[in-house]
Chain A
């Protein structure tokens, strides 16, 4: 063994490990800091990444395009689809596919044409840019949605569109890049054929593997650790099998869409597999994916900042191209969201996308890691260095603009449109409820201390009385508040029912663990509770839709 080489390798490994540790510690620190300042977590990470890029020796990690696409993207897509209920997705499948397929194709060629005409980039490179920049990134927007409590339907629309348009943009990008290779050409007929094979193959791989894991592993193996590990293997495995499908059968050029495979397998596990598991497994699996997503998500946004190396970019030389690119994506996004939205409203009047939702979908069309990774892939293409550099800088500019400008203003737009669940009277209700809960806890503690003789019983009684008086006042406040805002009563009813169903699920899990009931009985009951929760989700969604948001009044 060559000891010098081994030592050099160890040293390199340690540097990389140290860089990962720095990034994770930074992510944790930023997560704490953003709780105190009004900056979105993802935006803060990008800013820190931009700063780190000025100190290349501090964080020495080379995240290639393949690494971003193959290592970071699959778990994010898988986790997102894991929580996407098929019933909700199916209900809005028509607008989602219109935006994802029609919108992405239109965006690809419209942006491509503008860039070709105004920036002077060759046609196929311009189309490749149009494709990669059409992939909207749901991650940042969904994070806002969760904190603001917007309706599930809006989340599903935004998430569904971005999950499918990622895949479509990827396929369109690959076709444009392949067509640029010497001896190749770009024909519409063959492009559509390739698109159907690549997309359909990816879906088939994802559905097959997802079905196998859901029906065989998750349904028959009752071990939370094994099942969770299998879900991780599925997320990466479906991506790899689809991308390298040809290798399995000795056909070098046969590749399917890994992104669509991950989306399909995640949907299968989320909608079939999790129903087949025990409550313990479901909780373990969901916690695992929550932590993994936080870690990967943090790395993705730090890497975006690191990759957009402002130190090496001549801003004055590129500012016009970046401005044209930003204008192009804003213009085409406008046409896609409002144009396809209007067409869909004619086709499905009962499921039309409210105008307020369309405003959020327009301004919430952020671009992120997938656009960046695809742009970096161009370094391996047959385009000239100058063209690749122009496309890269435009991509950096658009990604930064959408994250730093749109990403920081979307929450204001959501609040202005009245789509935020956290309105003043709702906050007031929560404040009163929190007061009741806290005072009750205080009274119970006084009772406990008095009962144990730690406090004089007369003192404990007096303090308990004081607490009870405060609880009574708070209950009166709550009653008055409901009289003034009767719609809160239904919201509270739905929330209380959801809490009760979660408590029922925990109780079932406890009974299985203690051996009071068998695993089979526990599973049956868990499935029943899962179904009830799904029904409750739907009732809540339809109820929210019936309370037309203010922004929809003009529709």
Chain B
């Protein structure tokens, strides 16, 4: 889906799998409140997916994109708020590098980190701090209570 920026774009980041419902809902509401478009960036990071061969990674990327697109639509339909544009991107690589790269390319306004609580040996708080330094954007952590 094309991105139409009103007040920029909110990048919601998950890694290690499908993410969590509560975190996505929180990110969706935050994007709606800020009148931002929503980009769901799912990352197949080495700590969780390094053991897969390249052919299988391609299959996982395709399937995850299908699932997450359906998940975003589910959240959109259940919400009483409206985000004008959403898209799903699945990438492979280190979480911080992929987020920084996408933020630069898309000119994102804010970043919301979803699940899970650690990225390899780094805590999600440390990751958020590192991303703030590298992107100079507002970086928050959503849905951890779920």
Residues of chain A having any CB pair with chain B under 8 Å: 87, 90-91, 350-351, 479, 482, 486-490, 493-494, 497, 531-532, 534-536, 538-539, 542-543, 545-547
- Complex: A129 Cα to B64 Cα, angstroms: 49
- Given A493-B74, A532-B59, A539–B67 Cβ distance below 8 Å? yes
Docked-complex contact B51 and A543, CB < 8 angstroms: no
Closest to B23 in A: A486
B18 x A539 contact (CB < 8 A): yes
A488–B25 CA distance with the chains assembled, in angstroms: 13
A321 to B17 alpha-carbon distance, docked (Å):
50
| From B22, B67, B70, residue with most partner A Cβ within 10 Å | B67
A535 close to B60 (CB less than 8 A) = yes
Chain B residues, CB < 8 A from A490:
18-21, 71
> Across the interface, do B70 and A542 meet the contact criterion of CB distance under 8 Å?
no
Shortest beta-carbon contacts, A-B, top 9: A489-B21, A543-B17, A486-B21, A486-B22, A535-B63, A535-B59, A542-B17, A546-B116, A350-B47
Cross-chain pairs A/B with CB under 8 angstroms, 30 sampled: A87-B56, A350-B47, A350-B48, A350-B120, A486-B21, A486-B25, A486-B143, A487-B22, A488-B21, A490-B18, A490-B19, A490-B21, A490-B71, A493-B18, A493-B74, A494-B67, A497-B66, A497-B67, A497-B70, A532-B59, A532-B63, A534-B59, A535-B62, A538-B56, A539-B18, A539-B64, A542-B48, A546-B16, A546-B116, A547-B116
A87, A536, A539, A545 interface centre (most CB from chain B within 10 Å): A539
Question: What residues of B have a CB within 8 angstroms of the CB of A489 in the complex?
Answer: 21, 71, 74
Partner of B60, one of A90, A494, A497, A539: A539
Other contacts beyond A87-B56, A90-B51, A535-B60: 6, CB < 8 A: A486-B25, A490-B19, A490-B21, A536-B63, A542-B49, A546-B48
A545 and B19 CA atoms in complex are apart in Å by: 12
Q: By DSSP majority rule, is chain A's interface helix, strand, loop, or mixed?
A: helix
Chain A residues whose CB sits within 8 angstroms of the CB of B20 once the complex forms:
486-487, 490
A531–B59 CB distance below 8 A: yes
CA distance A488 to B22 in the complex (A): 10
Looking at the assembled complex, report how far the CB atom of A335 sits from the nearest CB atom of chain B, in whole angstroms.
28
Contact of B63 among A87, A350, A539, A547 (CB under 8 A): A539
Which chain B residues (100-146) contact chain A, with CB distance < 8 Å? 115-116, 120, 143, 146
| Alpha-carbon distance between A350 and B51 when the two chains are bound, in angstroms | 10
Residues in chain B near residue A351, CB distance under 8 A: 51
Q: Cβ of A534: which chain B residues have Cβ within 8 Å of it? A: 56, 59
A96 nearest CB across to chain B (Å): 13
B78 in the interface (beta carbon within 8 A): yes
Q: Which residues of B contact A488 (CB under 8 A)?
A: 21
Shortest Cβ distance from B79 into chain A, in angstroms?
Answer: 11
